[in-house]
Amino acid sequence: MIEFNQVGKKYPNGFHALKDVNLKIEQGEFVAIIGLSGAGKSTLLRTINRMHDITEGTLTVDGTDVMQLKGKELRRFRRRIGMIFQSFNLVTRTLVINNVLMSKVPELPFLKALFGIYPKEDKLGALEALDKVGILDKAFVRADQLSGGQQQRVALARTLAQNPQIILADEPVASLDPVTAKQVMGDFLRINKEMNITILLNIHHVDLALQYASRVVGIRAGQIVYDGPSSEVTQDILDEIYEGKEEEAAG
């Protein structure tokens, strides 16, 4: 379980990006975080794996106080949390399978990592992860020869190969066309259901959030203004989250 208790985040320049955040997310939930640009969605997501430090309150994952983690413990903790970005973050000049295998680098001895010598089970695991996202046939293709949607699936496979318990996805479909965006959201949903991995994603497309996530968290100016089932989100709630500007937000 991920638990925010009275969490605040002040950036070094004094900007208060999160205020009084209270949130409990059970293992296996699929949660969409929505809100205007600048509302604090990325900040919220990135506090969970300590890409950003919180400055007030407590944040725990399965009872572990995230702010207390250091060094090796922090690295081990981060291995349990996959992260997906809008820009895929692949090494595009190398094969798809090598991109997936990169998730194993932290576990390899230095020289093996340097020369890319992976154990057989890692290679099988990488192929299995590619199969789970439906692009096993692309394993030996260079990543830059894939479409945006396929590249995002490689990023998802790379994350799956690290056996995460939680996947954080920061605008994972923002640079995809509507059809591909739905396919990638479908991948998230399947992974969530089949593997019971918690999925937490930031998304600008309200329609996709409502269609795929079971729970929606609405943020406005650093504060949670809605937290509930996606099936109960009404126009009034959207007006509250988006300050009546959701047309602008979608565009």
Ligand X SMILES: Nc1ncnc2c1ncn2[C@@H]1O[C@H](COP(=O)(O)OP(=O)(O)OP(=O)(O)O)[C@@H](O)[C@H]1O
193 binds ligand X (CB under 6 A): no
Supply the minimum distance, in Å, between the C-beta of residue 11 and ligand X: 3
| Helices 120-132 and 148-160, axial angle in degrees (round to 10) | 130
Q: Minimum distance between the CB of residue 57 and ligand X, rounded to whole angstroms?
A: 17
Question: Residue 83 carries which side chain, given as an amino acid letter?
Answer: M
Least distance from C-beta 86 to ligand X, angstroms?
9
Binding status of residue 42 toward ligand X by CB under 6 A: yes
Q: Which of 21, 43, 203, 218 binds ligand X (CB under 6 A)?
A: 43
Minimum distance of ligand X from residue 201's CB (angstroms): 12
CA torsion sign for 250, 228, 45, 156 is negative
**Residue placing its CB nearer to ligand X in the complex, 39 or 139:** 39
Q: Which of 38, 116, 229, 244 binds ligand X (CB under 6 A)?
A: 38
Three-state SS string across the chain, please?
CEEEEEEEEECCCCCEEEEEEEEEECCCCEEEEECCCCCCHHHHHHHHCCCCCCCEEEEEECCEEHHHCCHHHHHHHHHCEEEEECCCCCCCCCEHHHHHHHHHHHHCCHHHHHHCCCCHHHHHHHHHHHHHCCCHHHCCCEHHHCCHHHHHHHHHHHHHCCCCCEEEEECCCCCCCHHHHHHHHHHHHHHHHHHCCEEEEECCCHHHHHHHCCEEEEEECCEEEEEEEHHHCCHHHHHHHCCCCHHHHHC
Is 40 a binding residue for ligand X by CB under 6 A? The answer is yes
Nearer to ligand X, 15 or 24 (CB): 15
- Widest CA span in the chain: 58
Tell me the window of 12-20, 21-29, 99-107, 229-237 that interacts with ligand X (CB under 6 A). Answer: 12-20
| Residue 82 binding ligand X, by CB under 6 A | no
- Of 2, 30, 31, 35, the one binding ligand X (CB under 6 A) is 35
Instruction: Tell me the closest approach of the beta carbon of residue 203 to ligand X, in angstroms.
Output: 9
**With respect to ligand X, which residue has the nearer C-beta, 15 or 75?**
15
By CB under 6 A, tell whether 203 contacts ligand X: no
Stretch that binds ligand X, among 40-48, 60-68, 133-141, 151-159 (CB under 6 A): 40-48
Task: Give the shortest CB-94-to-ligand X separation in angstroms.
Answer: 29
Binding site for ligand X (CB under 6 A): 11, 13, 15, 17, 35, 37-43, 202
